[in-house]
Amino acid sequence: MTVETAFQMDQIAPNARHGQTGGFANPDSELRAGGIVAGVFFIGLLGWAAMIPLDAAVVSSGVVSVAGNRQAVQHLDGGIVKAIHVKEGDFVNEGDVLLELIETDLRAEERSLSSQLIELEAQHARLRAEQDQIPRITPPERWQDLDDIDKRFAERVLRRQNSELVARTATDKAKRSIVKSKRDQLVSRLPGLEAEKRAASEQLLILKAEIDTLNDLFTKGLAELPRIRALEREAANLRGRIGDLESAVAEAQDAMQETTEQDRSITANRRESQAEDLRNVETRLSDVAPRYRAIAEKLGRTQLRATATGNVVGLNTFTVGGIIPPGGRVLDIVPSNRDLVIEATIAPEHGDDVQVSDPTEVRFPAINSRSPPTFAGKVEKVSADRMVEEQSGAAFFRIEISVPTTQRADTESLKTYEIRPGMPADVIIPLKKRTALQYIIDPITNSLWRSFREQ
């Protein structure tokens, strides 16, 4: 070691010793600084925990279905397949014809009943026109919807019934005309009989006066008895004539009354006949009309139509000429224009937390995206009681959550996602607002609440 090096070390040593005693001051100040830093950190952490939201929620997994689920298309009557217009997976609109059945026998029966029904309806309309004394028949409103074949037949039937209406009206008028003519004759004859009776009565009065005068003269010997007897015979004849005239007047009046009764009888008989015919027609209508409607509905069912808009699945009829049994299931339709329904389960302890109409958040893990979209849904159903899984024995409540179709269709960014029934779904049901601090403190306060009540 050189002298110069030794001199430098001598200079450094005092400085080192000085640093050990006074370079960082007092150790208490270091503790205070550390405490301040820790306090600031703890207060900041509490502030953060008190402000940062950490809401309570129920999280569940479910499966997508469709409101109304799959629509089964069945045939009530069954029959022989005439044509098949769809295949598995086809998209159909509600009302589209899916399948046709052979309708030959049904068509023949429908034509027969339709002809009977038109005939009876025309008769009914004609009888109503007779009752109301209307010169022309008013066709039933139903005839406006008849097909061309039935319309032509109905026109022929209507012409025939109008002719019958005219003939029956003419016959009725002829009967009434005969009675009226007879009555008119009696009315015109009655005044003559009355006048003749009055004249005979006046003649009788004159004869009686003349006979009385001759009797007085005869007692005085001034008149002859044969003359008196002749006048008495003439008076007797007049009395007989007056009696005949009175009888004739009475007969004429009786005949007039009889014509009135005949006129009433014609009217009554006509109305009774019309009422009887109307009852018979209505009885037959009550038999034919339901049979026609039933066969028409059955004929309409030979065209099996889509009950909803969606995709065809489960088609089990492939052969033209094959037989579909009554009530047989032909295919299913998965509706495309219905709201999606998420069928999920929740733990029993959340059975009272989740209520109908609660808002939900739904995500679909099957959507291949870095940030899958979140759909807003709503709780539609909560099972009335808890259920138990048969295999595992786990208890749960079943819930249904709806996701409106319009939400997906109206959002441009979501139109590319095709959500199908059967896809898995994650469901979050917010329960209450809370912070991170409440999340930490709640278990402690709950534990204290229980401990203070233990015996």
pLDDT in tens, the chain (455 residues): 443 444 444 444 444 444 444 444 566 677 777 777 777 776 776 666 555 555 556 788 888 876 556 788 888 888 899 999 999 988 999 999 999 999 888 889 999 999 999 999 999 999 999 888 888 898 998 998 888 999 999 999 999 999 998 988 888 888 888 888 788 787 777 788 788 888 888 888 888 888 888 888 878 777 788 888 888 888 888 888 888 888 888 887 888 888 888 788 888 888 888 889 999 999 999 999 999 999 999 998 899 999 888 888 888 888 898 898 998 889 988 877 666 788 888 888 777 778 888 888 888 877 766 666 778 888 888 888 888 888 888 888 888 888 876 655 444 444 456 667 778 888 888 765 555 555 566 666 656 655 655 54
* Cα angle value 213/219/222 (rounded, 5°): 75
Residues 6+ apart with CB under 8 A from 197: 242, 245, 246, 249
**Do the beta carbons of residue 353 and residue 95 sit within 8 Å?**
no
Give the pLDDT of residue 49.
53
Bridge partners, 72 (sequence order): 332
Measured CA to CA, the distance from residue 251 to residue 197 in angstroms comes to: 14
Following CA atoms 374, 379, 381, 387 in sequence, which dihedral angle do they give, to the nearest 10 degrees?
70
Element spanning 426, H or E:
strand 424-432
pLDDT at 11: 47
What was the pLDDT predicted at 123? 93
CB atoms within 10 A of CB 124: 19
**Is the four-CA dihedral 303, 308, 309, 315 of positive or negative sign?**
negative
Rounded Cα distance, 377 and 341, in Å: 9
